[in-house]
């Protein structure tokens, strides 16, 4: 790790900016604050519904505005996926601030849920497979998310997971590496939740507990296996009730976590009901050498499906264009073009 190129941001303690006036919308309350944006709950007048509105804050340079437009276009292109947050509209408010109008996911995020109580095995597997399909869809479109973590997996009214926050997503570069930030670095990160790694591609906001070792070098070079690491770490977190490299009662500063991540020192889980096959699947996903990880989010999803079959659960479908079912699993894979969100009971009834 080249610590000379890592800098910790100041923990920003601030009040939210006033919500902008938007035609056809009425501000209700603040939902969250980030280093580069605020998120508000609005009531849309027609059609009448509640929506989440992400508003940029701070110095709005041309580069930031351009990046925000890219994020909006990216989300619009991908939000037909049933497990990616839907974007309804984007624009510039009267006061000049760019904003995104998004689906309001009213139920607790994975971060809120695991802090209350670790998820069940069945729920973790089902959620992991669904989000893995969303991540694989991103990768199929040539995009790395780079900030998969429990707080960025929301829950909609039906209890379905929804991946959000593409503020630091990047397009693939040569060889599958990330090159060219899609959104403003750290735009959706909660203040104080990560650090900045300054490399050849500029400043990258990171959430340390779920970031792979390749993000802690002089010039970070993520690829699809970096997102696999973060997804596996997220699933481990919701099962264990803590982050994978955290030691309860021990030193857990960011440098302590980075050191353990680089050495692959996952803290053993105290739960006794987690099958060895699931622990092995997640451990492979969090291998410090990316060559030792699952080669794709789809392969991680299939590994989780195999655990479902082992436990006698009904297998969860992977929502991914062109995906094939694993051997022995009678699963119908839907495509993004035809997938629509329906209550979970209906999804289980698909032929």
Provide the annotated binding site for ATP.
54
The total of other beta-carbon atoms located within 10 Å of residue 15's CB is 8
* φ/ψ bin of 322: left (φ > 0), alpha (ψ from -120 to 50), beta (otherwise): left
Set 146, 225, 260, 293: catalytic member: 146
Strands (E), 70-152: 87-92, 98-103, 143-144
- How many helices, marked H, and strands, marked E, lie in the chain? 8, 13
Residues 112 and 153: their CA atoms lie apart, in Å, by 10
3-state secondary structure of 183: coil
Which residues make Cβ contacts (< 8 Å) with residue 313, sequence separation at least 6? 122, 125
**In this structure, what are the phi and psi dihedrals at residue 237, rounded to the nearest 5 degrees?**
-60, -45
CA 306 vs CA 99, 125, 227, 326: distances in Å: 41, 10, 21, 8
Structure tokens at 199: 């490399």
146 catalytic per annotation: yes
Residues 6+ apart with CB under 8 A from 302: 318, 326
SS3 state at 87: strand
- In the DSSP assignment, the letter for residue 190 is B
How do the residues of the chain divide into helix, strand and coil, expressed in percent and rounded to 5?
Answer: 35, 20, 45
Which residue numbers are catalytic?
A: 146
């Amino acid at each position: 790790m080249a610590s000379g190129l890592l800098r910790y941001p100041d923990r920003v303690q601030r009040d939210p900016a006033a919500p902008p006036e938007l035609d056809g919308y009425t501000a209700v309350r603040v939902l969250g604050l980030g280093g580069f944006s605020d998120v508000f709950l609005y009531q849309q007048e027609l059609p009448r519904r509640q929506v989440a509105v992400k508003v940029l804050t701070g110095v709005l340079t041309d580069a930031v505005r351009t990046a925000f437009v890219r994020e909006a276009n990216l989300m619009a292109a991908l939000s037909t996926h049933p497990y990616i947050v839907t974007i309804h509209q984007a624009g510039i408010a009267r006061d000049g601030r760019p904003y995104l109008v998004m689906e309001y996911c009213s139920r607790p995020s994975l971060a809120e849920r695991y802090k209350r109580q670790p998820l069940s095995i069945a729920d973790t597997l089902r959620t992991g497979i669904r989000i893995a399909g969303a991540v694989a869809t991103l990768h199929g479109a040539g995009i790395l998310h780079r900030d998969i973590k429990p707080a960025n997996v929301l829950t909609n009214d039906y209890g379905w997971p929804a991946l959000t926050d593409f503020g630091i997503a990047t397009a693939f570069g040569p060889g599958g590496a990330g090159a060219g930030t899609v959104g403003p670095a750290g735009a959706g990160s909660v203040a104080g939740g990560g650090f900045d790694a300054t490399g050849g591609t500029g400043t990258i906001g990171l959430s340390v507990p779920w970031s792979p070792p390749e993000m802690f070098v002089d010039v970070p070079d993520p690829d699809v296996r970096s997102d696999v690491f973060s997804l596996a770490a997220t699933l481990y977190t919701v099962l264990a009730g803590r982050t994978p490299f955290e030691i309860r009662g021990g030193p857990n500063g960011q440098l302590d976590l980075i050191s353990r991540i680089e050495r692959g020192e996952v803290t053993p889980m105290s739960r006794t009901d987690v099958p060895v096959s699931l622990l092995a699947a997640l451990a492979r996903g969090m291998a410090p050498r990316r060559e030792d990880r699952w080669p794709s989010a789809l392969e991680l999803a299939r590994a989780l499906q195999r655990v479902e079959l082992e436990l006698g659960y009904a297998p969860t479908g992977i929502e991914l264009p062109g995906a094939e079912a694993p051997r022995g699993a009678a699963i119908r894979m839907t495509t993004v073009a035809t997938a629509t969100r329906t209550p979970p009971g209906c999804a289980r009834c698909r032929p």
